Chain A
Amino acid sequence: MANVTLRSVRKTYPGGFEAIKGVDVDVGDGQFCVLVGPSGCGKSTLLRMVAGLETVTGGEIDIGGRVVNQVEPADRDIAMVFQNYALYPHMSVYNNMAYGLRNRGMAEAEIKTRVEEAARVLELAPMLERKPRQLSGGQRQRVAMGRAIVRQPKVFLFDEPLSNLDAKLRIAMRVEIRKLQRRLNTTSIYVTHDQLEAMTLADILVVMNGGQVEQVGNPLAIYEKPATTFVASFIGAPPMNLMSTRPDEIKSQLGSAGEAGILGIRPEDFVITDQTPAGGVALSLIVEAIERVGAETFVYGSRQQEEQRVAATPGELPPGEVIVRIPGTEAPGIGQTIRVAAVRAKLHLFSGDGRKRIEA
């Protein structure tokens, strides 16, 4: 049981490339922290620094009140689950889990108890004598988890542990990881590029971009009040519609928020209506495509006005395109013109460069 605190942590590679540009994060005891961001944002590097697999070039990493910058991975009291599981291919499942304990000189009887307990929890008991290559992907994943939990470490580190699994198994394992973490109440840091995984698992969500933290907080709070346009378009699927506030159509409706350069509206916050809510924004769209997924339908519409590009963000829509989510399967026909509107409370305003949220 331990807090993990990162204090202005930096990583500069010998070539001069700055992978982590000063990160401050505080993960409380027993909390589940998820680092999320696009590939190359430094989230894995940061995790590996906590694990001790990468050296820290600036700042401090503190695990349970002890600065571990110079401590060997084995002595940091952490356990890590790797993306490709990194199971020892020549060892049985039992030995894979027992190996770390044996290296620590634990008595064989105690090892047996711990491994069997972990195997019971993870439903691996019948395959303790098998080799990793005789297991399915999901089972290997469980063994990797088992190897982490038998150690009873202060901190679990997960490096995209589910990305090698198929979609269905991924969801099942996601729930299991969460349940397991709740039960063991072990502080965890989890890296993923999947925003859905991030939203569902995290107590604290850390959104990273370009080696920096964009926003830290409760996942729902981040969803409701994204601090930057990057976070706004990264968290939530489909991404938030971002548009320039400059065209007259929008400017006239916004009125007060003069300094804001970018307006964001989530697809789910639109309703199809002819009325314009007071203080809200209404848009005319020509329907270009419809996606029916069952419970909901996504309408891809384009605004007639020429649209200026707003700050570049992942999953960005082409200028002028707007996604609207409507419940059910009722949808307007392609080519039709519709009026959609969002109420004032659902508008997100950002500065022109997208780096700052403006509260209206």
Chain B
Amino acid sequence: MVEEEGFRRYVAHIILWIGIAIVAFPVYLAFVASTQDNAVIANGQMSLLPGGHFFQTYYQTIFVGTSGSTREPVGNMMLNSLIMALLIALGKIAISIISAYAIVYFRFPFRMPIFWIIFITLMLPVEVRIYPTYKIVADLHMLDSYAGLSLPLIASATATLLFRQFFMTVPDELLEASRIDGAGPFRFFWDTLLPLSRTNMAALFVILFILGWNQYLWPLLITTRDDMQTIQIGIRKMITTTDALTEWPIVMATAMLAMLPPVFVVIAMQKLFVRGLVETEK
């Protein structure tokens, strides 16, 4: 890239800073709100500088919860969300990579119809098939369980297609060399294909973890017990209070906490993530 000179460079930087401010200000505001006293916020006198209730608010949020009737500590909600997001992300990767392997490397009857059926499920997200899915989960007695939260969301056409595309770029000679080297289908998958897919899996994990973490509709439907609720549901429940003041500092603290795991995942896997998206060398 050619370095811009003088004035043009400042303009570019100013535009970037404006962009950052637009994205970051609400987050900052949420953080400030989480450190203020609730009465101050209710009065509409919130300052733009952090208040002095940081430790107190966050302690209460994580370990106690709101003072309303549903007193579920946010720490527990985070754990639920984390388990659900991990199950969804890892489950999707495991299922997709195996089905992509079958579709790309094996010749079996109805291979292409099966591929198209998987492809078509792209058009049927949870929202569309919500009633039958709920019925099945309820009949299997999986309401209010981690299995119920994650299983229906695990099948993934997108990830299957992504792995299929990747497998198709792996040279055939690699499979042939493996066959001559005495590696059967399982060994080829485990010893060659999986290590080669490492960066793809990492990229996919980041996307799928965030997708799982942000689930709202499905957990809302199938969790009724407070101790099974995820953080996304929890936040909303905190806001609607019938006969008391909404505890905004706690809501905001919860929102801040809800942001942490995705941010952490992105930062931790950034390098692999980028490599997974751009890498072409095989």
Contacts and interface: CB of A to CB of B under 8 A. Distances in A.
A118 to B, nearest CB: 15
Given A84-B171, A84-B173, A99 B180 contact: no
Interface in B45-63: none
A147 B173 CA distance: 14
Nearest to B187: A103
A103 B183 contact: yes
Given A99-B191, A103-B187, A133-B281, A86 B176 contact: yes
Interface string A118-132: 000000000000000
A223 interface: no
A73 interface: yes
Contacts of B281: 89, 133
A88 interface: yes
A168 interface: no
B185 to A, nearest CB: 12
A82 B171 CA distance: 11
B195 interface: yes
Interface range, B side: 10 to 19
A104 interface: yes
Given A74-B182, A86-B171, A133-B281, A80 B187 contact: no
Interface string B165-208: 00000010110110111110001000110011010000000000
Contacts of B196: 89-90
Contacts of B225: none
B180 A103 contact: no
B129 interface: no
Nearest to A133: B281
A75 to B, nearest CB: 8
A51 interface: yes
Contacts of A213: none
Contacts of A83: 173
A100 interface: yes
B282 interface: yes
B281 to A, nearest CB: 6
A96 B182 CA distance: 13
B174 A86 contact: yes
B195 to A, nearest CB: 4
B180 A74 contact: yes
A74 B182 CA distance: 5
Contacts of B198: 90
A353 interface: no
A80 B182 contact: no
Contacts of A72: 179
Given A86-B171, A86-B173, A133-B281, A103 B181 contact: yes
Contacts of A49: none
B80 to A, nearest CB: 36
B182 A104 contact: yes
Contact of A51 (B180, B191, B192): B180
A261 to B, nearest CB: 44
Contacts of A89: 196, 281-282
A90 B187 CA distance: 15
A74 B179 contact: yes
Contacts of B187: 103
Contact of B181 (A90, A99, A133): A99
B182 A53 contact: no
A27 interface: no
A201 B187 CA distance: 36
A334 B192 CA distance: 61
B179 A53 contact: yes
A90 B191 CA distance: 9
Interface string B252-282: 0000000000000000000000000000011
A208 interface: no
B173 A82 contact: yes
A79 interface: yes
B184 to A, nearest CB: 8
Contacts of B171: 84, 86
Interface in B135-172: 171
A110 to B, nearest CB: 15
A108 B101 CA distance: 30
B238 to A, nearest CB: 48
Contacts of A74: 179-183
Contacts of A90: 192, 195-196, 198
A82 B176 contact: yes
B180 A88 contact: no
A70 to B, nearest CB: 15
A299 interface: no
A332 to B, nearest CB: 50
A61 interface: no
A78 interface: yes
A53 B173 CA distance: 10
Given A90-B196, A133-B281, A80 B177 contact: yes
A78 B192 CA distance: 21
A103 B181 CA distance: 7
A74 B183 CA distance: 8
Contacts of A99: 181, 183, 191
17 contacts: A72-B179, A73-B176, A73-B180, A74-B182, A79-B180, A80-B177, A80-B180, A83-B173, A84-B171, A86-B176, A86-B177, A88-B192, A90-B192, A90-B195, A90-B196, A100-B182, A104-B182
Given A80-B177, A82-B173, A90-B195, 11 more contacts: A51-B180, A73-B179, A82-B177, A86-B173, A88-B174, A88-B177, A89-B196, A99-B191, A100-B180, A100-B181, A104-B182
